[in-house]
């Protein structure tokens, strides 16, 4: 990159972006975005690292640009918001030239343009070794209407959009090829990888879900393996469906599926249990009911009677005093929405389709809970229910210490019953 320099590189990127009227984008120290009354601003950021999140030797620049935008826009979709702007910081190792960057930005803009999300700034740098990509996306939603992870209630139905497991199977196929496995990925050659974004339909139906996940394939009917790899590299965020779900009063909690529902569902259970206990703590705790050290602080006048602490602090205080609330879940593995392509490839290779669907991740579908009777949009599947694991017969809590950041009950963490299997599935963890 040294032959063109930083500012020419930034100029090339800026020239490829269409900035809306009234917005100031690349070129100043900050972007300027007009604010609107009655809306909340949503902010999300994600980091992608070569050999941790992608194989540079396998993914095309266009595919990597597309996915870099998609994983962040999906977070906005999971809150029921509308994405409005993106910011990209990228550290480039030697060997990646200006043409590679042009192709990366083309993929980034192709997906972003689909949802009207202009690239308004960021940063560039050289990297001594690996490629690093950091993207921040801003979004907006009506004030107080963002759907959080923390609203799930006992009795809620657990639902997902689209199909599960396709991306995880696509990744297995990529790693299989990279590792020189003897089972080749038929029909997925360099010519297939070089044809991005030939279909541009989005809709909530199961069939439309199949079409919109085929962005990197030609107009001919692809083989199942090629389709799964395309779904791994070219996910389409569920922005419109997220907004539809957020408008339904019965939808209580939502997040996107990035680490697999075996992991992401536990995030919802932890956050919702913490919220329930914290709400109870706000109304129940007085100086006389505080733990000893906090009671002393209150008596000394250094702690107010109304505790202005975080939900996690309040929840932990409540659990320390024996006021335990533990949410669990029951998932019917036979109800999981599995694509025909996933079933075919798993049957051919002897893979466990259900395990890929619950543990694999990177589907970037939506996982949400809803009250029974909520009219769900087409393309949503009920796969289980939220339960009170303290009162549900046969529910077992995880061993203490298996925390992902949420407060723990005295007996451990959230319990999930996988109906149809005796496995205790786990999703992806970042550390």
Instruction: Give the model confidence (pLDDT) of 33-81 as tens digits.
Output: 788 889 999 999 999 999 999 999 999 999 999 999 999 999 999 999 9
- Whether 299 shows a pLDDT value over 80: the answer reads no
- Whether 11 shows a pLDDT value over 90: the answer reads no
In a shared domain, residues 134 and 168 = no
pLDDT in tens, 334-362: 999 999 999 999 999 999 999 999 999 99
What is residue 189's predicted lDDT score, i.e. its pLDDT? 39
Q: Which residue has the higher pLDDT, 307 or 150?
A: 150
What is residue 388's predicted lDDT score, i.e. its pLDDT? 86
Last-in-domain residue among 125, 146, 167? 146
For residue 105, give its domain range: 5-146
Please report which confidence band the pLDDT of residue 191 belongs to, taking 50, 70 and 90 as the band edges: very low
What is residue 325's predicted lDDT score, i.e. its pLDDT? 54
What is residue 287's predicted lDDT score, i.e. its pLDDT? 52
- Average of pLDDT values for 242-246? 97
CATH code where residue 51 lies: 3.30.1330.10
- Average of pLDDT values for 248-254? 97
In a shared domain, residues 101 and 157 = no
Q: pLDDT above 90 covers what percent of the chain?
A: 55
Please report which confidence band the pLDDT of residue 403 belongs to, taking 50, 70 and 90 as the band edges: very low
Please report which confidence band the pLDDT of residue 18 belongs to, taking 50, 70 and 90 as the band edges: confident
In a shared domain, residues 119 and 169 = no
In a shared domain, residues 153 and 257 = yes
Q: At what angle do helices 61-78 and 239-246 cross, to 10 degrees?
A: 0
CA 263 – CA 415 distance, rounded (Å)? 12
In a shared domain, residues 151 and 131 = no
Please report which confidence band the pLDDT of residue 289 belongs to, taking 50, 70 and 90 as the band edges: low
Q: Which residue has the higher pLDDT, 165 or 313?
A: 165
Q: Which residue has the higher pLDDT, 220 or 66?
A: 66
In a shared domain, residues 200 and 69 = no
What is residue 181's predicted lDDT score, i.e. its pLDDT? 57
What is residue 395's predicted lDDT score, i.e. its pLDDT? 56
Last-in-domain residue among 146, 176, 202? 146
In a shared domain, residues 256 and 127 = no
CATH code where residue 296 lies: 3.90.650.10
pLDDT in tens, 116-146: 999 999 999 999 999 999 999 999 999 999 9
In a shared domain, residues 334 and 383 = yes
Residues 6+ apart with CB under 8 A from 229: 170, 173, 174, 185, 188, 216
Last-in-domain residue among 116, 146, 176? 146
Residues 6+ apart with CB under 8 A from 91: 124, 125, 126, 127, 131, 132, 133
Calculate ∠ Cα 261-262-263, nearest 5°. Answer: 85
In a shared domain, residues 110 and 151 = no
In a shared domain, residues 107 and 170 = no
What is residue 409's predicted lDDT score, i.e. its pLDDT? 38
End-to-end Cα spacing for the chain: 32
Q: Indicate the number of domains in the chain.
A: 2
Greatest mean pLDDT among 19-28, 206-215, 243-252: 243-252
In a shared domain, residues 135 and 159 = no
Q: Which residue has the higher pLDDT, 50 or 185?
A: 50
- Average of pLDDT values for 416-423? 91
What is residue 407's predicted lDDT score, i.e. its pLDDT? 35
In a shared domain, residues 293 and 360 = yes
CA 62 – CA 111 distance, rounded (Å)? 10
């Amino acid at each position: 990159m040294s032959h063109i320099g930083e500012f020419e590189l930034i100029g090339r990127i800026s020239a490829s972006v269409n900035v809306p009227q009234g917005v100031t984008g690349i070129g100043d120290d900050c972007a300027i975005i007009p604010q609107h009354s009655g809306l909340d601003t949503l902010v999300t950021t994600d980091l992608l690292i070569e050999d941790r999140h992608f194989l540079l030797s396998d993914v095309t620049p266009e595919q990597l640009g597309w996915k870099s935008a998609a994983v962040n826009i999906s977070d906005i979709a999971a809150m029921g918001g509308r994405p409005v702007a993106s910011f990209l910081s990228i550290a480039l190792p030697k060997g990646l030239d200006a043409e590679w960057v042009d192709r990366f930005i083309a993929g980034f803009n192709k997906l972003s343009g689909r949802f009207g999300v202009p690239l308004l700034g960021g940063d560039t740098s050289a990297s001594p070794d690996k490629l690093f990509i950091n993207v921040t996306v801003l979004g907006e939603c009506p004030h107080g209407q963002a759907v959080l992870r923390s609203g799930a209630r006992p009795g809620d139905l657990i639902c997902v959009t689209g199909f599960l497991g396709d991306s995880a199977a696509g990744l297995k196929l990529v790693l299989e090829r990279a590792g020189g496995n003897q089972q080749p990925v038929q029909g997925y050659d360099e010519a297939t990888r070089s044809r991005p974004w030939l279909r541009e339909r989005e809709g909530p139906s199961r069939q439309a879900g199949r079409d919109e996940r085929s962005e990197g394939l030609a107009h001919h009917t692809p083989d199942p393996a090629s389709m799964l790899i395309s779904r791994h590299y070219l996910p389409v965020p569920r922005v419109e469906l997220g907004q539809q779900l957020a408008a339904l009063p019965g939808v209580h909690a939502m997040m996107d599926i990035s680490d697999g529902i075996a992991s992401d569902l536990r995030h919802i259970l932890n956050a919702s249990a913490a919220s329930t206990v914290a709400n109870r703590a706000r109304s129940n705790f007085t100086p006389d009911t505080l733990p000893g050290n906090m009671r002393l602080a209150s008596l000394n006048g250094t702690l107010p009677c109304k505790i202005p602490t975080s939900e996690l602090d309040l929840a932990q205080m409540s659990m320390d005093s024996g006021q335990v609330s533990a949410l669990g879940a029951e998932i019917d593995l036979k109800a999981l929405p599995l694509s025909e392509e996933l079933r075919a490839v798993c049957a051919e290779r002897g893979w466990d389709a259900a395990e890929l669907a619950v543990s694999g991740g990177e589907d970037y579908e939506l996982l949400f809970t809803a009250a029974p009777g909520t009219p769900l949009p087409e393309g949503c599947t009920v796969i289980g229910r939220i339960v009170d694991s303290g009162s549900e017969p046969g529910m077992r809590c995880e061993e203490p210490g298996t925390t992902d950041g949420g407060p723990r009950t005295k007996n451990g963490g959230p319990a999930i019953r996988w109906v149809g299997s005796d496995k205790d599935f786990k999703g992806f963890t970042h550390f």
